[in-house]
Amino acid sequence: MEPRSEPAPGSGGQRGGGHRRRRSARRQALDILFEADLIGRSPRAVLEEWRTAGRSVSEYASELVGGVEDRLSELDAVLGKSSEGWTVHRMPVVDRTILRLACYELKSGVPPAVAISEAVHAANELSTQDSGRFVNGVLGMIARDLQAEDPPAPERLGRPAGSG
C-alpha cells in the first residue's frame, strides 16, 4: 500500500500526485533553490531558465520555489532563531536549502511528520553524515514553535469541530 500524500500548499486540501511525485517535486525545487543560492540569482529566474532549456518542472515544485522566494526573509529569520549556534549564511548551502524548503512546507500546513521526514531523507542523501540530525533538530524546534503559536483546530485535522 502506497503512503498517503499530503495536500500541496494552496491546493485547498486536494490530495493528488502521490508520495513519489511529491518527493520528486521537492527534489526539483531543492535543485532549483540550491542553484539559485549558489550562483546568487533569483529562484524564479533559475526556474524560468530550466523551462527555457526544455526541462519539465512540476507545478508543485514551481509552487515551492515561488513560496520560498516570496518568504525568504521570514524563513531565514525562523531558521536563524531555531538553529542554535549557526547563522543561516554559515550553514552549508545544501543544508540551508533543505531547511528553507521544509520550513516553508511546515508554515504552509504540510504535516510536520511529512515535512521533517522528507527533509531528513534529503539531508541524509545529499549532505554530510551529521546533516540529517541537524536538519531534524532545527525542524523539530520549528514545528514545536508553530504548534505552540497555532494549535491545530479539529477541522484542520480532517475532523469536523465537536466530533472529538
pLDDT tens-digit map of 124-152: 999 998 999 999 999 999 999 998 887 65
Give the structural domain span for 28.
Answer: 18-150
What percentage of residues in the chain have a pLDDT greater than 70? 81
Establish if 13 belongs to a structural domain.
no
What percentage of residues in the chain have a pLDDT greater than 90? 74
Establish if 4 belongs to a structural domain.
no
Establish if 56 belongs to a structural domain.
yes
**Is residue 26 within 8 Å of 104, Cβ to Cβ?**
no
Helix 131-149 to helix 93-107 angle (10° resolution) is: 30
The Cα–Cα gap between 17 and 164 comes to 30
The Cα–Cα gap between 153 and 161 comes to 8
Establish if 84 belongs to a structural domain.
yes
More confident residue, 82 or 7: 82
Establish if 75 belongs to a structural domain.
yes
Residue 92: pLDDT band by 50, 70, 90 thresholds? very high
Establish if 156 belongs to a structural domain.
no
Domain with residue 64: its CATH number is 1.10.940.10
**pLDDT tens across 37-63, in order?**
999 999 999 999 999 999 999 999 999
pTM assigned to the model? 0.81
Establish if 71 belongs to a structural domain.
yes
Domain count, the chain: 1
Return the C-alpha cell found at 87: 547563522
Tell whether the model's pLDDT for residue 71 goes beyond 70: yes
Residue 49 confidence (pLDDT) = 98
Establish if 163 belongs to a structural domain.
no
